[in-house]
Structure 1
């Protein structure tokens, strides 16, 4: 066989995948997200920091792939689950709820949509593998942790189905958690409720205002006036443009709003609201169109707010949505207790296992809570529908999901290498191997 033909045999699959990646990134980042070249460079720099970062910033590639794989465990199209849409290790964290309790839960609702519960579980399982790879934990241990997450999810759904616990009242505090999560929640109890204000604001000429930094920038007078117009219920002291948050969110406007005379969950006056631009949920491009869902949540801010209200046991009293200059936003309180478990907090395999078990319970809680009990979009209990797909094949479900997650994790590494080559050609100004200041701070 001629060398040229052999070369084509060797390389066609890789060339086609590279073309897919380029097409998908151009379609979503340029056409759907409408990111500028400068914003794409910023986003891709962050994604190139690690395969896990790449995974976090490429949810559309994930859904493009996994929605092509059938499974006997998927929800029926006629009875979908309200999914978080971007479930991964870094989208869980601590915050203070409406009662003033410090709890651990999911904390990102930008991609909330309706579809098979399995997409949340697969995306989370892949993230566990990538996250533990970064900490140089062997694959056998990764599989054990993923199994713990999945088994905990199923067992918690069964508890809801048997009415042993209520998804509306169950929350996760220091009283019913273990390991790194429990330690984090106990530590946060000692944090002052004014922690955030002291960190990013100062009193200048008798007035509290934001402190400008690399991540917190002033806004124009026109922007200040526009935000005041869409939030007339608040007495606004200062507004800042926030940079450097997230990976998939780069290119979306995010503001911090310092509000006077309002009380946070702990009854403290002066608090910081976060106003974030939101676009169509990525899963919606790939999953079945739901007329009923979109008739209730046509505004993307309403969708994100609805997702948070559906999934959290208590809602943020400042949660709302607005439209400004034709762009859709949601608004929520920026909790002074917002913090996640970081790699340095895992001291043993058992720490990973107990953390994954709690995350599995939380995943079950948000899926069980966001159904007929909350919204008339649904006419059934999600836990019943999910368990009907799983319960008779529990062990097979766990093993097949672990297998799929570990297989896809390998794809992420291959895609990450192809993405590097593509980004180098398209944006020569990207500097590979440089970790941003933000990431260093996160790891500190």
Structure 2
């Protein structure tokens, strides 16, 4: 009898949560994102890989959950931070900035928005536990890893607030990183500037450089798409910062392709690779569709933010320029067929973190210390342009005010909650797979 009651309760709980997953998936992927049946299948296939992939692909479920919890350490709605919106372990990488320095930093700004800094921290600490599982690190060590990240984040904020360090000039290179990050940065040092061109393009019989459709995941654009990009190209050129604009001939288009094989959250968004003339060498640009950031559906509405960022492509590049010390000089945006796009360079010097050694606790610890410092830097760096009137206060001051003198309580809350939510993600992952079999695949 007791066992039957337990099972009934468990089944009811699972049923209600599965209904929540169903409603969220249907509302966002179908009604808001307007993903086709084919694209939803692609996305869900990627999300089925493991719990971490599910977590990355269900960001709207995360915000649906966390925005309903009254955490003690939120910044106030009238003093929000500029958040990355999707801060997780895999959204850090190595790349070259406009000063040709090879650095390690955050690399995805599609969900950039105004909101409590805590949403970035919450998403990151859950991802730490999920990636630790992937790397085979013992469960008993997970709390320590979360604490290491939080300690580094808090200490770096304090240094910014006390003017010991400047978030505007703070960057992470081989000189101040260790372990897997240093290894990844080192691996880029000997790359040639033509690395991306050599991999993705070729010279045809007439000596013209073109994208190599055979060796890459590139598809031909339609004649209409090609004409539309040519038509709006001047709008992109007008959006580039004047101090880095190189003259119209530099941006002359030589070839355009469509890029397939996007990340989990980007499935269904249009993405083009555009080959331009450059100066001594041709240059590859990426034009990616941008849409309303997921946090905007759940966080407090901010009129000031939208007055400055009414174009979704502009919002993405503004987020990047706010969080990076030296941003990509090719950043810009345009509108095509009522869709918003942002443009960035596909540099030869780009590489995801080499995770081969991260099963080692010490090297994971080194990595998370740097990631904690970078997280603090982007939250503090985003107010550097105070004179522009977007923010009239320092983010690090407001975050430290929200935490107050309770650093220990803050860390404890984040450790306890991240463990709870990581287990929630694992349960949701199982329920998601049940939902696919019981409902989605039968319907579609």
Q: Structure 2 length as normaliser, TM-score?
A: 0.93
Name which of structure 1's ranges 395-404 and 229-238 shifts more when overlaid on structure 2.
229-238
Task: Give 2:245's aligned residue.
Answer: none
Per the TM alignment, residue 164 of structure 1 is displaced from its structure 2 partner at its CA by 1.0
Residue aligned with 1:165, SS: coil
Q: Trace 1:255-266 onto structure 2 (pairs within 5 A).
A: 255-260=272-277, 262-263=278-279
Equivalent runs, 1:171-250 vs 2, <5 Å: 171-205=171-205, 206-213=207-214, 215-232=217-234, 233=248, 234-250=251-267
Aligned twin of 2:316:
304
Structure 1 residues 5 and 351: alpha-carbon distance in aligned structure 2, compared to 1, 3 A threshold:
closer
Q: Which residue of 1 aligns with 2:61?
A: 61
Q: How many residues align?
A: 425
**Cα distance in 2 for residues equivalent to 1:347 and 1:10:** 34
Q: State yes or no: 1:386 paired with 2:388.
A: no
Q: Secondary structure of the equivalent of 1:209?
A: strand
- Asked whether 1:279 is paired with 2:291, we answer yes
Gaps of 5+ in 2: 235-247
Question: Is the partner of 1:335 in helix, strand or coil?
Answer: coil
- Aligned partners of 2:303, 2:128: CA distance in 1, in Å? 34
Q: Which moved more, 1:354-363 or 1:233-242?
A: 233-242
Q: Which runs of 4+ in 1 moved over 6 A?
A: 1-6
Conserved 8 A contact 1:93-1:104:
yes
TM-score (norm 1): 0.93
In structure 2, do the counterparts of structure 1 residues 14 and 236 end up closer, same or farther at CA, with 3 Å as the change threshold? Answer: same
Tell me, yes or no, if the aligned pair for 1:372 and 1:379 is still in contact at 8 Å: no
SS of the aligned residue for 1:321 comes to strand
C-alpha separation between the residues in 1 aligned to 2:75 and 2:345?
Answer: 34
Give the CA deviation at 1:13. 1.2
Paired residues of 2:275 and 2:284 also in contact (CA < 8 A): yes
Tell me, which stretches of 5 or more residues in structure 1 are unaligned? 431-444
- The answer to whether the Cα contact below 8 Å between 1:112 and 1:304 also exists between their aligned partners in 2 is yes
Deviations, residues 45-66 of structure 1 (Å, cap 9, x unaligned)? 0010111111111100000001
1:132–1:7: structure 2 CA closer, same or farther, 3 Å change rule?
closer
Aligned counterparts, 1:29-428, within 5 A: 29-205=29-205, 206-213=207-214, 215-232=217-234, 233=248, 234-260=251-277, 262-263=278-279, 269-346=281-358, 348-371=360-383, 373-374=385-386, 375-428=388-441
Q: Offset of 1:4 from its aligned partner?
A: 8.2
Looking at structure 2, the residues matched to 203 and 425 of structure 1 have their Cα atoms a distance apart, in angstroms, of 51
CA contact (8 A) 2:135 2:359 kept: no
- Contact between 1:373 and 1:381, CA under 8 Å: does it hold in 2? no
SS at match of 2:343: strand
**Deviation of residue 427 (structure 1)?**
4.2
CA contact (8 A) 1:41 1:427 kept: no
Q: Deviations over 1:145-165 (max 9, x none)?
A: 111111101100111111111
Name the stretch that deviates more: 5-14 or 160-169. 5-14
SS in 2 for 1:9: helix
The answer as to whether partners of 1:202 and 1:208 remain within 8 angstroms in 2 is: yes
Q: Determine helix, strand or coil for the equivalent of 1:280.
A: coil
TM-superposed CA distance for 1:140, in Å, is: 2.1
Q: 1:231 and 1:316 mapped to 2: Cα distance?
A: 18
C-alpha displacement of 1:36? 0.4
Q: Deviations for 1:28-52, whole angstroms, at most 9, x for unmatched residues?
A: 0001101000000000000101111
SS at match of 1:269: coil
When structure 1 is superposed on structure 2, of 213-222 and 14-23 the one drifting more is 213-222
CA RMSD in angstroms comes to 1.7
Structure-2 change in CA distance of 1:352 and 1:253 (3 Å): same
8 Å Cα contact 1:368/1:382 also seen in 2: yes
